[in-house]
Amino acid sequence: MMRTEILVIGADPDILQTILRLLNAEESWHADGVAGVKEALTKCSIKTYDVLLLGAGQTMREEEELKTELKRLYPALPVIPHYGGGSGLLFAEIYLALGKMNQAQ
Amino acid sequence: MAQTVLHTATSRGGADHGWLKSYHTFSFANYFNPERVNFGALRVLNDDTVDGGRGFGEHPHDNMEIISIPLSGSLQHKDSMGNLATIEPGEIQAMSAGTGIYHTEYNKDKDQPVKFLQIWVFPNKRNVEPRYDQLKINAPEKPNTLVQILSPNPDDAGVWIHQDAWFNLGKLEKGSKVDYTFQKKGNGAYIFVLEGEIEVDGQVLNKRDGFGIWDTDTFNIQAISEQTEFLIMDVPMEF
């Protein structure tokens, strides 16, 4: 089975772990987590992701730099800002991102 | 011409965890409906009932403006900023989760359920410093008028949040009518009925129905039944 690969960026380690636990509980998804922009770019250079979930804790400048760099290097990779910090909106964010990807294909 | 959307009470999503019964107007947790994700910056409208003595253990939030409005019973809040507070009907709580916050929410009463609305509004700025606020809601100056309970301005009536949103509570007697004018161009209003039956620009709404209206400057609300209570959430449609 093809799994959807998700990279999550989150500066707060506990919130990041909560998000990873929730995402990895879904059989068809696999999520990795990193704390910051540099690590995210490194991860993306060694593994192909389907969705990047941008969690809390980066500065506005870092967020913009990341989006610009990802758009340049991986134009098809959707970058989804995550809101809420837990299970409330997480699944809808991923479902909507995947829905848009399917429509585009 | 005004655009509208109607979400009847029975069309909401729901979750029954035994100790927690929740109705979701918009997609939340395991309830996902791509047609019901948000109304502008209004992302979550949960109508929760928590059994006596039960509650939400410690859990995180970030980047969201979270508003709680108790309808009956009392809800105890404790968070990682050191706040310990109980909110009851007639009060409102607002929390900017920003860079991250942890909190617990428990029904303080062992015997009675607590019913409350939990409302999430997208912030207009990500990664703000977390903050907590709680206020008693003022009584209306005159009968059959609206009371502002939330705004973007710390000096204005009610609690404030990081978004160009204004919330008003209304209690109208049968036959009474109020006109509402939007606070900001480009905003829309989501009206949620707490008690009774009202009519919004000709649309009849019953208890727990939700109705969104936008692309207009003003609308009116009329009470059809004896005792009515409703919440108007005036939020940006683009944010």
Give pLDDT tens digits for B147-174: 999 999 999 999 999 999 999 999 999 9
Give pLDDT tens digits for B86-113: 999 999 999 999 999 999 999 999 999 9
**B70 pLDDT above the threshold of 70:** yes
Chain A: residue nearest B46 by CA?
A: A88
**A104 pLDDT above the threshold of 70:** no
* Closest C-alpha among B55, B58, B114, B127 to residue B88: B114
**B184 pLDDT above the threshold of 70:** yes
Chain A residues close to B68, C-beta within 8 Å: none
Grouping H, G, I as helix, E, B as strand and the rest as coil, residue B101 is strand
Give pLDDT tens digits for A35-90: 999 999 999 999 999 999 999 999 999 999 999 999 999 999 999 999 998 889 99
| Band of pLDDT at residue A99, cut at 50, 70 and 90 | confident
- Chain A residues at the B interface, defined by Cβ less than 8 Å, are 11-12, 14-15, 18, 55-60, 63, 81-89, 91-92, 95-96, 99
Residue B42 one-letter amino acid: L
Q: ipTM score here?
A: 0.89
* Closest C-alpha among A47, A50, A63 to residue A104: A50
**A1 pLDDT above the threshold of 80:** no
Is the Cβ pair A87, B27 closer than 8 Å? no
* Closest C-alpha among B117, B134, B124 to residue B190: B117
Report whether A103 contacts B34 (CB < 8 A): no
Chain B residues close to A81, C-beta within 8 Å: 63, 126
Report whether B201 contacts B166 (CB < 8 A): no
Q: How far is CA A97 from CA A4, A6, A66, A100, B34, in A?
A: 11, 11, 18, 5, 11
Predicted model pTM = 0.95
What pLDDT score was predicted for residue B139?
Answer: 84
| Separation of alpha carbons B138 and B144, rounded Å | 14
Q: A4-104, superfamily in CATH? A: Response regulator (3.40.50.2300)
The predicted model gives B117-122 an average pLDDT of: 98
**B141 pLDDT above the threshold of 70:** yes
Give pLDDT tens digits for B8-49: 999 999 999 999 999 999 999 999 999 999 999 999 999 999
| Band of pLDDT at residue A2, cut at 50, 70 and 90 | confident
* Closest C-alpha among B89, B75, B93, B105 to residue B135: B93
Q: Token match 């920003």: residue?
A: B98
Which of A83, A91, A95 has the highest number of chain B CBs within 10 A, making it the mutation to test binding with B? A83
| Separation of alpha carbons A70 and B24, rounded Å | 35
Give pLDDT tens digits for A82-93: 999 888 999 999
Q: Which domains does chain B have, with CATH numbers?
A: 13-136 (2.60.120.10), 146-236 (2.60.120.10)
Which contacts of A62-69 are long-range, i.e. CB under 8 A and separated by 24 or more positions? Answer: A62/A36, A62/A37, A63/A37, A63/B126, A65/A37, A66/A9, A66/A37, A66/A40, A66/A41, A69/A41
What pLDDT score was predicted for residue B164?
Answer: 98
| Separation of alpha carbons B22 and B44, rounded Å | 12
| Band of pLDDT at residue A34, cut at 50, 70 and 90 | very high
Is the Cβ pair A85, B99 closer than 8 Å? no
B193 touches chain A (CB under 8 A): no
Chain B residues close to A59, C-beta within 8 Å: 127
Is the Cβ pair A89, B100 closer than 8 Å? no
Going from N- to C-terminal start, the domains of chain A cover 4-104
Chain A residues close to B28, C-beta within 8 Å: 88-89, 92
| Band of pLDDT at residue A103, cut at 50, 70 and 90 | confident
